[in-house]
Amino acid sequence: MNFYSLLAKQCILLIAIVLTCPFALAGIELGSPAPNIEGTLLDGKPFDLKTYKGKVVLVNFWASWCEPCREEMPAIEMYLKQNKSKGFEVLAITMDKPSYIEQAQKILQSYSFLSAEKKQMNCSAYGRIWRIPSTFIIDKQGILRKNGMTGDPKVDTKLLEEVVSPLLSNQ
């Protein structure tokens, strides 16, 4: 085998690895049971995702310094207010360092989300959250319906209507 064909094969292999890496890092697959999240919310109350079976839960990993994170929050809040009575809940997990937690808490005062600091939550089964915002949507049966580590990370009214609304109407 000549040098150039070996080099070409190695380049193809490297490209394949790079292109599939985000899916490997995503950890959990759509249609599979969502891993549990448990810990303590910023208000001091305990949280256990298992107790939210029967509700559609949006889990949003965000940070106070992340502009796209802050930009999507009003749409999520509006949708939550319109659909909470139908069984919709939001858990916002801040990825902020301890020195920014106060800033995150100030931002969260404008929203009715359940909120937590990542270091206070056991959510390691979701893998390394390497981009924010990252939003996971879990249906009433505890099945993952949107994996925030794959595809378009943006959450807006259109996505909520397309993904969450059908899940809320399913019994």
Instruction: Delimit the domains of the chain by residue range.
Output: 3-169
Determine the Cα–Cα distance for residues 58 and 159; give it in Å rounded to an integer: 12
Question: What does the pLDDT average to over 98-105?
Answer: 93
Cα dihedral sign, 36-40-43-45: positive
Mean pLDDT of the chain: 87
Spatial strand order of the sheet with 56-62 comes to 46-48, 38-41, 114-122, 88-94, 56-62, 134-138, 144-146
Q: Which two tokens stand for residue 131?
A: 């981009």
Residue-wise pLDDT tens digits, 23-66: 444 468 899 999 999 999 999 999 999 999 999 999 999 999 99
**Is pLDDT above 60 for 143?**
yes
Class of domain 3-169: alpha beta
Determine the Cα–Cα distance for residues 114 and 131; give it in Å rounded to an integer: 21
Q: What is the pLDDT of residue 150?
A: 85
pTM for the model stands at: 0.82
